[in-house]
Chain A
Amino acid sequence: MILNIITYIFIGIGCFFNLMAAIGLHRFPDAYTRLHAGTKCTTFGSMFLILAIVIQSISAWVAEGISSPQSILTLHAVIALIAILLTNPTSAHAIGRAAHRSGIKPARAVVDDLEGKNHD
C-alpha cells in the first residue's frame, strides 16, 4: 500500500521533469541553455521513472518472494539506468564543446571567458 503511494509519487516526479525538459527546449534562447534543460532534466526524470519500477517490483517481492519474474526485469531496468547515467552527461559535454568550437556565441552574453583558447 505505502509502496504503491511511493511509486505514484516517483512517477509524478519523473513525468514532471521530462515535461519540463520538453518545454525548456522551446523556452530557452540558445544551444547552451537548451542543453542545460534537455540533458539534466531528462536524466533526473528517467532516474525517478526507473526507481518507480524498482519500488513496484519490491512490492511484488513482498507479495510473491524474491523469485518472482519481475526480478530479472528490474535488473535489466537498472542496467538501462546505468547506461543512461553514464552516456548522457558525456554526450552533453561533447555537444557543448562542439557548439563552442563551431563559433556559436551564448545569447545575450557580454564576456566569453573561453575566447581564443583552442587547446585540447
Chain B
Amino acid sequence: MWFPVAIFLAVCIFIVLIRLFLGPTRPDRLVGLDTLNTLIVVSMVILGAAFKEKIYIDVGIVYALLSFVTTLFIAKYIEKSKF
C-alpha cells in the first residue's frame, strides 16, 4: 500500500530537482531545496511505514531539524549578498 506512494514522492522529488538545477536566481534554488527537504522527510516516514521500521522515521526527524538549520543559514548568506 505504501510503496506506490513512495515511488510517487520520488517522481515529485525529481521534478523539484529540475527546478533546483534550472533556477535563475539563488532564492529560487533555495525554495527548491526547501521543498526537496520536506518531500524527503515525508518519503522517509512513508518508507518507515512501508517496511514497519521506526528507525527510518527517526532519520526523517533528524533530517527535518538539520535541514531547517541549513535553510536558515543559506537564507542568512543570501540576505547579505546584493544582486
CB-defined contacts of B61 to chain A, threshold 8 Å = 76, 79-80, 83
For B, the interface residue count at a CB cutoff of 8 angstroms equals: 47
Range, interface on chain A: 35 or more
Query: Would A83 and B65 be within 8 Å (CB), given that A91-B71, A102-B81 are in contact?
Result: yes
Contact B31 A25 (CB under 8 A): yes
CB-defined contacts of A25 to chain B, threshold 8 Å = 15-16, 19, 31-32, 35
B52 to chain A, nearest CB (A): 7
The answer for the CA separation of A103 and B81 in the assembled complex, in Å, is: 9
Contact A34 B31 (CB under 8 A): yes
Contact B38 A84 (CB under 8 A): yes
CB-defined contacts of B82 to chain A, threshold 8 Å = 102-103
B17 to chain A, nearest CB (A): 10
In the A-B complex, the 5 residue pairs with the smallest Cβ-Cβ separation, listed nearest first, are: A99-B27, A87-B68, A38-B35, A22-B15, A98-B75
Q: Which residues of B contact A (CB under 8 A)?
A: 1, 5, 8-9, 12-13, 15-16, 18-19, 25-28, 30-32, 34-35, 38-39, 41-42, 44-46, 48-49, 52, 54, 57-58, 60-61, 64-65, 67-68, 71-72, 75-76, 78-79, 81-83
